[in-house]
A and B are shown apart, each in its own frame.
Chain A
Amino acid sequence: MEEQEIIAKVRKCVATALGRDEDEVQLESVLSRDLEAESIDYLDITFQLEREFGISIQKDELFPQKIFQDETLVKDGVVTEKGLEYLQEKMPYVELDSFREDPKVTKVPELFTVNLLVNFVKSKVAA
C-alpha cells in the first residue's frame, strides 16, 4: 500500500472517530490537544484502523496504558529511564529524542499524533 493511501485512510479514520472534517486532521495534529480526543476516542480510533486496514491491533499495542499505571515507569511525574525504554519498545516507530529532553508523563499524550498513527499502520501492513 502506498504511503499516500495510508495517510488518506488514517486521516479518514481519525476524522470519523472524532467527528471532524478530514481537513482538520493533519499529520502533525496531536490527537488530544489539537483534535480534543478523549479516552474513549482512542478505542474508537483503534476500531476504525482495524476496520479500514483489515489489521488486528493487540490491547495496549497502539496506546500503551501501562506507562500511566506502573510506578517503576514514572516517578514524581517524570518518565524514568525504564519508562523510556518501555515506550521505545512499545512504539519503535516513534522518535523520542525531543521527548527525552523533558520526559514529563503529562507530555506523553502529545506523542500521539496523526503521523504516529500513520507510522504505526505502515509498520503493521509491512509486517
Chain B
Amino acid sequence: MRYVLVDRFLEIEAGSRARAVKCVTRGEEFLGDLPHYPSALVLESLLQTGGALTRAGAGPRRMSVLGKVNRASFAGHAQPGDRIDLEVSVALSRPEGTLCEGVATVEGREVGRAEFMIVLLPPEMTPPPDAERDAYRGLLARALGLESALDNGHGGLGSGALPEENA
C-alpha cells in the first residue's frame, strides 16, 4: 500500500518550488504507541512534495521515484494535532530529475530538513491510459488541492503531479 503523506498542496510553481501541509492525527495507524510523529515520515512528506513539484515541471503523465536522500536532519518532533508546513524548492533541474531542498516546520519551528534527488522515469515507462485509474487520480488531485495549488503557482499538470506515483 502506498501512503499519501501530504494533506494539501498550497502552491506549486512548476520546476521551482512548492508549499504543502501535512496534519498529524492520533488516528494514523502507523503512529501506534509512538509519542510523536516519526521523523522518517516527515522526510517522506518532503519527498512526496518534491516528487509532485518535479513531475509538475516534467510533462504529462511522467512518473518519478526517489533517487536518494543526500542529507537529512531533524530537530524536535511533530505531535498529533500539529500541522507540518512543507516547503520544497528545486536547487537544480535536469532532464533526468531534480535536486531538491526541503524544510518542514511546525508553527515556525523546524522539525526536518533534507536535500534529495527525484528521478524522472523515462517516458517509455509511462503507463498507458487507464480510465478507472485516471478517474481515481482526478479525484485525488482535487482532494489534495493540486489543481488550485498549480493555479496559485504558475501552471502545471494537475493530476500529473500526484504524490502517489512517488513510489
Which residues 25-67 in A have Cβ within 8 Å of B in the complex? 40-41, 43-44, 46-47, 50-51, 57, 59
Q: With contacts defined as CB atoms under 8 Å apart, how many contacts are there between chain A and chain B in the complex? A: 32
Choose one: A44, A51, A59; the contact of B68 (CB below 8 Å). A44
- Looking at the assembled complex, report how far the CB atom of B1 sits from the nearest CB atom of chain A, in whole angstroms: 25
Given the known interface contacts A40-B117, A43-B96, A43-B97, the answer about A51 and B91 at a Cβ–Cβ threshold of 8 Å is: yes
B94: which A residues are within 8 A, CB to CB?
A: 43, 46-47, 50, 57, 59
Q: Is the CB of B91 within 8 A of A44?
A: no
User: Closest residue to A57 on the B side, CB-wise?
Assistant: B94
B residues lining the A interface (CB < 8 Å): 67-68, 70, 91-92, 94-97, 99, 117, 119
Alpha-carbon distance between A46 and B67 when the two chains are bound, in angstroms: 13
A50: which B residues are within 8 A, CB to CB?
A: 92, 94
Alpha-carbon distance between A57 and B68 when the two chains are bound, in angstroms: 20
Q: Is the CB of B95 within 8 A of A43?
A: no
B67: which A residues are within 8 A, CB to CB?
A: 40, 43-44
Q: Is the CB of B92 within 8 A of A51?
A: yes
- Looking at the assembled complex, report how far the CB atom of B65 sits from the nearest CB atom of chain A, in whole angstroms: 10
Q: Is the CB of A47 within 8 A of B117?
A: yes
Could you list 30 examples of A-B contacts with CB < 8 Å?
A16-B70, A17-B70, A40-B67, A40-B68, A40-B117, A40-B119, A41-B68, A43-B67, A43-B94, A43-B96, A43-B97, A43-B117, A44-B67, A44-B68, A44-B70, A44-B99, A44-B117, A46-B94, A47-B92, A47-B94, A47-B99, A47-B117, A50-B92, A50-B94, A51-B91, A51-B99, A57-B94, A59-B94, A59-B95, A59-B96
Alpha-carbon distance between A16 and B70 when the two chains are bound, in angstroms: 8
Alpha-carbon distance between A17 and B97 when the two chains are bound, in angstroms: 16
User: Closest residue to B96 on the A side, CB-wise?
Assistant: A43
Looking at A17, A40, A41, A59, which has the most chain B CB atoms within 10 Å of its CB? A40
User: Closest residue to A17 on the B side, CB-wise?
Assistant: B70
Q: Is the CB of B91 within 8 A of A43?
A: no
- Looking at the assembled complex, report how far the CB atom of A92 sits from the nearest CB atom of chain B, in whole angstroms: 22
Looking at A43, A44, A59, which has the most chain B CB atoms within 10 Å of its CB? A43
